[in-house]
Amino acid sequence: MAPLVLDSEAQPATGGDADAFLRTLYSEHSTSLLAYVGRMVSDQQLAEDVVQETMLRAWRKSATLDPDRGSIGGWLIRVARNIAIDRMRARRCRPPEVDETHTDAATWSVSDHAARTVESVFVSQALQTLSPAHRAVLQQVYFADRTCAEAAVVLGIPVGTVKSRIYYALRQLRVAIEAEQAG
């Protein structure tokens, strides 16, 4: 934000005096106002926009702003705070902006889940080829998301048996799936 050129001390008035009044306000308050708004919004560009809008409103109100009626700095802070809050609320209401120059065309397309569906059919058919004991162990460990110890308690068998059944069940499952895919 480029600083305005200082003129002589000006009081609120209309016409050319409003410009001088604004220059004085800007030189006296812009730095502290920018720091205050910058802490609120955590975005330097937005903070500069808010300070500019605040100064524009002060310029429009220069005929009514009078230090004898109250602190002009306090008025500027209050106006800047209100503008910043309005801008932050407006940003939250809108969906997030997307920079289309950095998007990949693949992210916009719907993924094809046919391969995963075919694989699940193969797995389902391969599970049917396992013995009931092997299917029960896989069901408890993989589908019910239990540990080997928990599966052993549920099935009423030793933990070592659960581990060996998982090992042999997965080997049989792999062979069955490869046979289904080849055939």
For every residue of 144-161, DSSP letters joined together read: S---HHHHHHHHTS-HHH
- Fold exhibited by the domain 16-93: Rna Polymerase Sigma Factor; Chain: A (1.10.1740)
Does the structure show a pLDDT above 70 at 115?
Answer: yes
Are 169 and 134 in contact, with CB atoms under 8 Å apart?
yes
Q: Which two tokens stand for residue 93?
A: 């209401």
Does the structure show a pLDDT above 90 at 48?
Answer: yes
Q: How far apart are CA 105 and CA 37, in angstroms?
A: 38
The pLDDT of residue 125: 84
Nearest to 50 by CA among 86, 84, 82: 84
The pLDDT of residue 47: 92
**Would you give the distance in Å from CA 105 to the centre of its chain?**
21
The pLDDT of residue 107: 56
pLDDT tens across 13-37, in order?
A: 455 677 888 888 888 898 999 999 9
The vertex-13 CA angle with 10 and 59, nearest 5°, equals: 85
Name the residue ranges covered by the structural domains of the chain. Answer: 16-93, 117-182
Does the structure show a pLDDT above 80 at 78?
Answer: yes
Would the CATH topology of 16-93 be identical to that of 117-182?
no
pLDDT (average), residues 140-160: 92
Q: How far apart are CA 180 and CA 153, in angstroms?
A: 33
Q: Which two tokens stand for residue 154?
A: 């549920």
The pLDDT of residue 103: 59
pLDDT tens across 160-174, in order?
A: 999 999 999 999 988
Q: How far apart are CA 48 and CA 35, in angstroms?
A: 10
Average pLDDT, the chain: 82
Architecture of domain 117-182: Orthogonal Bundle (1.10)
pLDDT (average), residues 93-111: 65
| DSSP code at position 112 | P
pLDDT band at 89 (very low <50, low <70, confident <90, very high): confident
Are 12 and 53 in contact, with CB atoms under 8 Å apart?
no
The pLDDT of residue 16: 67
Residue 11 sits at φ, ψ, to 5 deg, of: -110, 160
Q: Which two tokens stand for residue 139?
A: 């069901």
Q: How far apart are CA 140 and CA 157, in angstroms?
A: 12
Does the structure show a pLDDT above 70 at 68?
Answer: yes
The pLDDT of residue 160: 94
